Amino acid sequence: MQLFRLTAHELHDLLIKKEISAEELNLAVFDRIEAVEDRVKAYVTMTKERALEQARSVDRQINDGEKISPLAGIPVAIKDNMCIDGVRTTACSKILANFVPPYSATVVKRLDGAGAIMVGKTNCDEFAMGSSTENSAFFITRNPWDTERVPGGSSGGSAAVIAAGEAICSLGSDTGGSIRLPASFCGVVGLKPTYGAVSRYGLIAFASSLDQIGPFTRDVADCAAMLNVICGHDPLDSTSANYNMPDFTGFLKNDVQGLKIGVPREYMVEGIHPEVREAIEQALSLLEALGAHVEYTTLPHTEYALSTYYLIAPAEASSNLARYDGVRYGYRAEKADDVIDMFMKTRSEGFGSEVKRRIMLGTYALSAGYYDAYYLKALRVRTLIKQDFDRAFEKYDLLVSPVCPTTAFRIGEKTEDPLEMYLSDVCTISINLAGIPGMSIPGGFAQGMPVGLQLMGRHFDEGTLLRAAYTFEQNTDYHKAFPEL
């Protein structure tokens, strides 16, 4: 039995039946990592000792007859932009290469509390800025389905470890598609919750009004289990919503009868790969066959989303990333005449090219004389984009689209032209601008590479996403496909 190929709920059953121990499970995953990691290159830091110690403690609980939570003993990987007390946390940037936080992110504390085992920190685009994980300061992560291709980004490592069996569940963060795009490219389940559903405390900020943490899993049931642990109000995050959180596993029903699904036309045109279109259309037909009402609809301001996003996100980023100056932590340039020189050298040597580009763009958008024309304008267009969704959700319970017009592209294919790379996010960024939940589930294959089906719902209606995703999953077997490595 290849434990690393199972889901958390399957493993939970084995654990409580004492057919396996948590230590055994984690060792199996570490063996798998050893076997494939040199081809995938998904982890930047491994925490094996910490993991095995935690696993043994879960085993003691099981042996003492204690009831354990669904994620207890389950190997979980964490994107390297979330802080773990005492564990190097870099955001995959040279500027934080040696940073060891003295505190843990709220999501990490919650997972710890649920007995989940942290196996390591995963690779990502530097400060989560990118769509391919090629912007990591350390190395490029490869797509387990085709190691010549990117895993998507920015949470490429967290998606790749699920596809490759190097962890059972993982956490990513999504600012403009950074969970859904790699989930789509790697053929796993990824969900960006409603903005405010998961605490951002301890997530190294990229664009604060858009960032949201979410899970990668092998199936929808595991996704619900992860949400049960990570969602909920946190007094340390002022933007964390205080709402009645449901038990997300309650939505795992094989039933979409009567569900009203809208398909935004704007997400299906221009440059979409014919096989991706075909996969999406087949998926829609299946949902229809299962009793859902499916029809095309419109989100008229979609064409402005990319510009809006690439003004707001860099503007916030330029401010969020100001703190990396070589004074309190992180990299510092060696020779400097004075403080200003030290700041400039430190930041120029410490940040990679994409991060600098976005700092430049954001700084420009906020600078005197341009604020109204760019940043404020973008915030106004953001309102229009949000209203598009509000209107659509008056009519539909759910919106469905591709996650990306293409499947995973080749490494290096888009690194030369930033605009070309930004276009990978065209179907995902509006969701962040509107703050609604978005999910990518395995929706088929195009030329042997996974295609992600994107589900979008109302604020705090992750339940409907889970229900539709679960139904789709129960009637397909795309999620069971496993890449050969």
Partner 1 sequence: MAQYETVIGLEVHVELKTRSKVFCDSTTEFGGDPNTHVCPVCLGLPGTLPVVNKTVVEYAIRAGLAINCSIAEFSKFDRKNYYYPDMPKNYQISQYDLPIALNGHLDIEVDGETRRIGITRLHMEEDTGKLVHQGTITTTPYSLVDYNRAGVPLIEIVSEPDLRSPEEARRYMEKLKAIMQYTGVSDCKMEEGSLRCDANISLRPASSTEFGTKTEIKNLNSFRALQRALAYEIERQTEVLEEGGRIVQETRTWDEGKGITLPLRSKEFAHDYRYLPDPDLVPMIIDREWVDDIRSSLPELPDDRRQRYIGEYGLPSYDAGILTDTKELADYFEDCVKAYPNPKVVSNWVMGDLTRLLNAGAVDITGCRIRPKQLASLLQLIDKGTISGKIAKTVFEEMFATGKEPEVIVKEKGLVQISDEGAIVAVVDKILADNPKSVEDFRAGKERALGFLVGQVMKATKGKANPDLVNRLLKEKLQ
Partner 2 sequence: MITKEDVDHVALLGRLELTEEEREMYTRQLNDILEHFQALERLNTENVLPTAHVLPLKNVYREDWAGQHLSREEVLANGPDVEENCFKVPKIV
Q: Which residues are catalytic?
A: 79, 154, 178
Residue 201 binds partner 1 (CB under 8 A): yes
Number of residues interacting with partner 1: please give it, by CB under 8 A.
Answer: 45
Residue 434 binds partner 2 (CB under 8 A): yes
Binding partner of residue 119 among partner 2, partner 1, none, CB cut-off 5 to 8 Å per kind: none
- Min dist CB 365 to partner 1, Å, is 9
25 closest CA partner among 77, 97, 74: 74
Based on CB atoms, which residue is closest to partner 2, 61 or 415? 415
435 closest CA partner among 240, 304, 218, 293: 240
Angle formed at CA 129 by CA 266 and CA 356, multiple of 5 degrees: 120
What CA–CA distance (Å, rounded) separates 274 from 235?
47
Binding partner of residue 100 among partner 2, partner 1, none, CB cut-off 5 to 8 Å per kind: partner 2
- Min dist CB 337 to partner 1, Å, is 11
Residue 202 binds partner 1 (CB under 8 A): yes
What CA–CA distance (Å, rounded) separates 384 from 372?
17
What CA–CA distance (Å, rounded) separates 187 from 369?
45
What CA–CA distance (Å, rounded) separates 87 from 328?
17
- Contact residues for 382 (Cβ-Cβ < 8 A; gap 6+): 308, 312, 433
Residue 238 binds partner 2 (CB under 8 A): yes
Q: At residue 257, what are phi and psi to the nearest 5 degrees?
A: -55, 125
Q: Which stretch binds partner 1 (CB under 8 A): 139-147, 261-269, 322-330, 446-454?
A: 322-330
Over the window 284 to 323, marking each residue x when it contacts partner 2 by CB under 8 A and - when it does not, the resulting string is -----------------x-xx-xxx-xx------x---x-
Query: Residue 346 to residues 137, 387, 401: CA-CA distances in angstroms?
Result: 15, 42, 42
Q: Which of 18, 341, 410, 480 binds partner 2 (CB under 8 A)?
A: 341
Residue 296 binds partner 1 (CB under 8 A): no
User: 3-class SS at 170?
Assistant: strand
Binding partner of residue 98 among partner 1, partner 2, none, CB cut-off 5 to 8 Å per kind: partner 2
Strand order in the sheet with 75-79: 43-46, 117-122, 75-79, 169-174, 212-217, 189-192, 438-446, 449-456, 398-402, 260-264, 293-297
What CA–CA distance (Å, rounded) separates 158 from 76?
9
DSSP letters, 22-51, are HHHHHHHHHHHHHHHHHHH--EEEE-HHHH
Residue 390 binds partner 2 (CB under 8 A): no
Residues that bind partner 1 (CB under 8 A): 81-83, 89, 91, 96, 99, 101-103, 105, 200-205, 207-209, 235-239, 315-316, 318-319, 322-325, 327-329, 339-340, 343, 363, 366-368, 371, 375
Residues that bind partner 2 (CB under 8 A): 98-100, 102, 195-196, 209, 235, 238-239, 241, 301, 303-304, 306-308, 310-311, 318, 322, 325-332, 336-345, 347-348, 351, 353, 356-357, 359-361, 363-364, 367, 374, 376-384, 386, 418-419, 433-435, 459
